[in-house]
Structure 1
Amino acid sequence: MKVHFIAVGGSAMHNLAIALHNKGFRVTGSDDVLFEPSRSRLAKYGILPEQEGWHPEMITPDLDAVILGMHARVDNPELLKAQELGLKIYSYPEYIYEQSKDKQRVVIGGSHGKTTITSMILHVLQQAGKDFDYLVGAQLAGFETMVKLTDAPIIVIEGDEYLASPIDRRPKFHLYKANIAVISGIAWDHINVFPTFDSYVEQFRLFIKTIQPGGKLIYSETDAVLNEAVAADDSKNIEKLPYRLPQYSIADGITSVVAGGESYPLEVFGDHNLLNMEAARLVCLQLGIDADTFYKAITTFKGAARRLELLAKDSSTNIYKDFAHSPSKLQATIHAVKTQFPDRGLVACIELHTFSSLNRDFLKEYAGTLDIADEAIVFIDKKTFEQKKMEPYDASVVKAAFAKDNLLFFNDPAQLKKHLEALEMSGKNLLLMSSGNFGGIDLSALANVIIKNSLN
């Protein structure tokens, strides 16, 4: 099979390219910009484009498939050439389905927790010696790539609700046709694509309809919006399995889940992670993993990349970074740290970076999300407004939206860094949350400076 990737540098795209290369396909690709780690990883497997840019001459009639990434535009010269030649053009979720239509497909959907639930399932299946393929949205310890495609009978897919490609406006998770589906919760996001809350919720209603006959839907019954969507679904040929928080305890900063008379200490914490764990447990149960095997395996799960990742610590301070950026993720992450360390103060710093979070009309969705933080900081890199061609706003707009008068606002990374370095952090935790990069601040180095300063 000969396959060409348009916009091969994307996170999922370059991992799919590597997976197909490993499967014996002849893989080529192109992109107008290639960042790390995509560049190094493509080079490692010998499939790095010789030069950046779009090259229509690479689109030839002998291609079996062209896979189109979301980064490409509808007027991309390679795409136009492929259309002119009548080649089969796939989005990457379409091609994942094409490669897995004879497998048992587990698809993890939801506005939050998708990566963590998927990662937990992969960790347990690996510990149990199961043969499986996967697609996950983060680099995981113990896994070489973020996509694996072999002859395994099972594939576990993180199912994003964002659009499949520039010419396929369907949400990705609609294309996988799940045999086992998970929905972790519904909280409005991607306002640029789903301008109303109901248009966003509708994507999850449609996702439920894509579950194959005889399939199963595993869902969080703690989410009112999700419960309503599930209750309204009239599918008669799927089984619906709700989950909620398991029994647990917290002692000396360690959360343990209690099941079957046994206590299993975890390396992750927070109600949201306990709910994620229950979703993963129910999936693994459908795949033949009993509860005791699951809980023993999950005790060694350290978390997905950038999810409550511990950057630095001393005896009275922990500094975390987290991928939280939407209102629901932000609130869940703050609650987790406060609950795990009730005797410590909490400094919570959120970077608004996505189109939705920066949208002035959507900003009000963040009201109250920082309330339980002892010190709240919001950062928007002024360059982000320029890059996204959005009208900037000042601190008063942010404070009104978050409904927190003592909130601090920064729009310059150097000033934010200076403020954070000067914090007195003894007996407090610091939580740095963003899907961006805080204006290029080296967060690991910053965390070490803060800890060092606190010790002096």
Structure 2
Amino acid sequence: MDNNSQKIHFIAIGGSIMHNLAIALHKKGYQISGSDDEIFEPSKSKLEKYGLLPREEGWNPDKITTDLNAVILGMHARKDNPELLRAKELGLKIYSFPEYLYEQSQDKQRVVIAGSHGKTTITSIIIHVLKFFNRKFDFAVGAQIEGFETMVQLSDAPVIIIEGDEYLSSPIDDTPKFLKYHHHIGLISGVAWDHINVFPSEEKYVRQFDKFADASPKSGTLIYCEEDPMATVIGSKERADVLSIGYKTHPHFIENGTTLLTYGNENIPIKLFGKHNLQNINGAKEVLKKIGISEDQFYLAIQSFQGASKRLEYVKESENMAIIKDYAHAPSKVGATTLAVKEQYPERDLVACLELHTFSSLNKEFLKEYSGTMKCANVAVIYYNPATIAHKRLDPISKDDIKKGFNDPDINVFDDINEMLDFLQQQDWTDKNLLMMSSGTFNDLDFEKLPSLLN
């Protein structure tokens, strides 16, 4: 069927991955429409650039017509969404994002990167290296990467690199996204319980990764971090005609705040740091070896990798101070990220700020999973917004609940962003780093203005 005759409607087109898919299909010549009840930057500007921004916010069942070839349903929508109900009434084909991505990549070699942490960085490294050598490939990744305008690309390339999320496929399909892609090469970076609202027990959460590994096809490859206990249990299980490959932290050393990889007699400077990232590098290298990139090529390309957006990203760096932001929000990520910054700058004190923003982190019962995760910080700061708790329809939590959960009675807890900023301004920032961790926005904090607030 001619691409121009394909009419696709997106319910919740403003989502971080949904708007990228919409743009990718628009570039292929598809006729794209969409709706959403709230669209934020950068989605808004990018959709507007391609003429895909809805004229008005909100849901409009009149947009759902019988001439649509498909409707793609985003996670932001609810089960009773009026456009979804109309699509069902008309008997239209309704896809989740991962289902449609698979539909577009059935004839490709599919590489899927899974894990509780590191999957965005590993996926980003792989596509950076492939681009460095002008290889033909498609991709879908959840974070902005330097050198790429959009984070979904669909073409006639023979291979696609996909960041495989364990979260639900859509509001009407509770299958983890990564099971929808039917990988040929799969990677598990690590497994640490998260998404308590979907997986109420650690056992249920871990089981999803076991299903992912078991879905590896005959003659397929499963790559796993053998320094992660649960990934090792899952990855090392014998599966008929599946090649299992373990990887560890890449040999390295730190010199004057720069991490250097050791490769034979060479010392190769990189812009990443931290144990998890050094594991991520080796995981990406193993994947790339399976799709035709040699080790020599890998080490040439990795030197120019800047990192994925919000993953140990520098906001400001000077001779005696750095401000770094990171997407860390789950317990394992918080512990690893604070340790990484402390090890990279052992001579500096570390002020670490964490925003509790996700369903799991704002759940009183889950808070105990954060016990000890901020121990590497000289000054630990927690921020949460009671309005976010109310919006997510969760039970209220108190500052004492948080201190108890983190097992630190001296931790600094704020529920007002201005009070938190006042506290930070009172610090002496000589030979001291600031780490800001959140999957949210710290109440729309302008990170570019943060350095001037701390001077």
What does residue 178 of structure 1 align with? 183
1:169 corresponds to: 174
What's the CA shift for 1:82? 1.2
Q: How does 1:81-120 map to 2 (within 5 A)?
A: 81-120=86-125
Among residues 259, 265, 270, which one is paired with 1:255 in the alignment? Answer: 259
Query: Would you say the 8 A contact 1:417–1:446 is kept in 2?
Result: no
Contact 2:17 2:142 in 1 (8 A): yes
Q: Which amino acid aligns with 1:210?
A: A
Distance 1:209 1:160 in 2: 16
> Is the aligned partner of 1:56 residue 2:61?
yes
SS in 2 for 1:145: coil
Task: Tell me the residue number matched to 2:220.
Answer: 215
Structure 1: distance between partners of 2:228 and 2:355: 26
Aligned to 2:209: 204
Moved more, 268-277 or 436-445: 436-445
Q: Which runs of 5+ in 1 are unaligned?
A: none
- Counterpart of 1:339? 343
Q: Distance in 1 between matches of 2:262 and 2:343?
A: 18
Tell me if 1:125 matches 2:130. Answer: yes
How far is 1:91 from its partner? 0.3
Match of 1:10, SS state, is: coil
1:262-287 Cα offsets, whole Å, 9 max, x none, are 11101111111100000110111111
Contact 1:14 1:38 in 2 (8 A): yes
- Measured in 2, the distance between the counterparts of 1:447 and 1:211 equals 47
Q: For 1:67-87, what per-residue CA distance to the aligned partner results, in whole angstroms no more than 9, with x for missing partners?
A: 111111111111111111111
Aligned partner letter, 2:240: K
1:234 Cα deviation after fit: 4.2
Structure 1 CA distance for aligned equivalents of residues 375 and 206 of structure 2: 26
**1:339, CA displacement in angstroms?**
0.8
**2:196 corresponds to:** 191
Which among 321, 332, 341 is matched to residue 317 of structure 1?
Answer: 321
- 2:305 match: 301
Partner of 1:38: 43
Match of 1:153 among 155, 158, 163: 158
Partner of 2:364: 360
Q: Secondary structure at the match of 2:361?
A: helix
2:229 alignment partner AA: A
The corresponding residue for 1:421 is: 425
Contact in 1 for aligned 2:9/2:71 (Cα 8 Å):
yes
The answer on whether the counterparts of 1:249 and 1:257 sit within 8 Å (CA) in structure 2 is yes
CA offset digits 1:43-67 (Å, max 9, x no partner): 1111221222212122111211111
Q: Do residues 246 (structure 1) and 257 (structure 2) align? A: no
Map 1:272-291 onto structure 2 (within 5 A).
Answer: 272-291=276-295
Write the distance in 2 (CA, Å) between the matches of 1:373 and 1:170: 37
* CA offsets 1:88-121 (integer angstroms, 9 cap, x no match): 1100100000000100101000000111111100
SS at match of 1:343: coil
Q: Distance in 2 between matches of 1:57 and 1:395?
A: 47
SS in structure 2 of the partner of residue 440 of structure 1: coil
The corresponding residue for 1:134 is 139
**Backbone CA RMSD of aligned residues:** 1.1
Unaligned runs of 5+ in 2: 1-5
Whether contact under 8 Å (2:120, 2:163) holds in the other structure is: yes
Moved over 6 A (4+): none
Query: Which amino acid is 1:300 matched to?
Result: S
Determine the C-alpha separation between the residues in 2 that align with 1:351 and 1:271. 22
Aligned to 2:22: 17
Aligned to 2:403: 399
The residue that corresponds to 2:3 in the other structure is: none
CA distance in structure 2 between the aligned counterparts of 1:306 and 1:254, rounded to whole angstroms:
19
C-alpha contact (below 8 Å) 1:417/1:441 kept by paired residues: no
SS for the counterpart of 2:102 is helix
C-alpha displacement at 1:301, in angstroms? 0.7
Maintained 8 Å contact 2:222/2:235: no
Contact kept in structure 2, 1:9 and 1:35, CA below 8 Å: yes
TM-score (norm. length: structure 1): 0.97
Q: Deviations over 1:328-368 (max 9, x none)?
A: 00111111111111111111111111000111110000001
TM-score (norm 2): 0.97
Q: Is 1:227–2:245 an aligned residue pair? A: no
Residues 31-40 or 16-25, more deviating: 31-40
State the percentage of identical aligned residues: 52
Q: CA deviation at 1:421?
A: 1.4
CA distance in 2, matches of 1:43, 1:5: 15
Q: Does the CA contact (< 8 Å) of 2:8 and 2:32 recur in 1? A: yes
Kept in 2, the 8 Å contact 1:70–1:164? The answer is: yes
Cα distance in 2 for residues equivalent to 1:334 and 1:326? 12
1:378 matched to 2:382: yes
Match of 2:446 in 1: 442
Q: Find the residue that maps to 1:357 and give its secondary structure.
A: coil
Instruction: Check conservation: 1:312, 1:448, Cα contact below 8 A.
Output: no
| SS of equivalent residue, structure 1 residue 358 | coil
CA–CA distance in structure 2, aligned partners of residues 269 and 351 of structure 1: 22
Counterparts of 1:358 and 1:114 in 2: how far apart (Å)?
23
Worse-superposed segment, 378-387 or 253-262: 378-387
- Paired residue total: 450
Q: Is the 8 A contact 2:350 2:377 kept in 1?
A: yes
